[in-house]
Amino acid sequence: MLLEYTDKTNSVTDTELLLDLQRVSNETGKQSLTIAEYKEHGRYDPSTIIRHFETWNKALSIAGLQISNRQYADRELFDNLAELWIKIGHQPSRRDLSLFQSPISYKAYERRFGKWSVALKSFVDYYNSQESLEVYQIEAKPNTTHKTSRDINLRMRFKVMSRDNFKCCSCGASPAKDPSVDLHVDHIKPWAKGGETVIENLQTLCSKCNWGKSDSLNA
Ligand SMILES: [Zn+2]
């Protein structure tokens, strides 16, 4: 068999995406689909659909499905904001939601908070609150020597990145200056060598420096 090149960026047509939305709607018996529901049953990445149709609701309406006006839980709204903030490396503007294809649209924030500034203030309060601190300490499984789990959850990643000003601690790269920069949170003392998942043992690295670090550790 010959190896064939597949152009993933253009390989899907609008029609194929719409047909798949309708298929999932038929199979699940739901007149309206959330992104999470589609993610579970659909063939394509929801972000591809949003890229093709601008917003999730537009895709739903063109596919003849009902538009969902569901109320998101505050946690979902805040988690989505944290993901976007991490991706772009600075406080998102209202416009950034559509610019960076946020799965949750501005409308959902408007329904909950009224104004974008109120949404941002509530988000900042939440991240500074004890409520968000409590989820930092995830217990490790019994019979390991660790006090914490290896997994770095979103709230903790956000906390570490905001402490590091959304910049790579090694080379200073930031998605705010260069959108191709992808930031990660890394254990300073590796977890495999007894390092814990605590703020003091975590740092922000860009993907290049992160790979460089794992190469030198393996050498
Ligand atoms: Zn770097």
Q: What are the residue boundaries of the structural domains of the chain, listed by start?
A: 14-62, 74-132, 135-218
Strand partners, 202: 187
CATH class of 135-218: mainly alpha
Q: What's the 199 CA to ligand 1 centre distance in angstroms?
A: 19
Q: What's the 167 CA to ligand 1 centre distance in angstroms?
A: 8
Taking the mean position of all CA atoms in its chain, how far away is CA 161? 14
Q: What's the 171 CA to ligand 1 centre distance in angstroms?
A: 4
Q: Angle at which helices 154-163 and 74-88 pack, to 10 degrees?
A: 40
In this prediction the pTM is: 0.64
DSSP 150: S
- List alpha helices for the chain, DSSP H: 14-28, 35-41, 46-53, 56-62, 74-88, 94-99, 106-113, 116-128, 130-134, 154-163, 207-218
Question: pLDDT tens digits, the chain, 219 residues: what are they?
Answer: 567 665 555 678 999 999 999 999 999 888 889 888 999 999 999 989 988 998 888 899 899 998 766 678 888 899 999 999 999 999 999 999 989 888 888 988 998 999 999 999 999 998 887 655 555 555 555 556 788 888 888 888 999 999 999 999 999 999 999 999 999 999 999 988 999 999 999 999 999 999 877 655 544
Q: What's the 137 CA to ligand 1 centre distance in angstroms?
A: 27
Q: What's the 109 CA to ligand 1 centre distance in angstroms?
A: 33
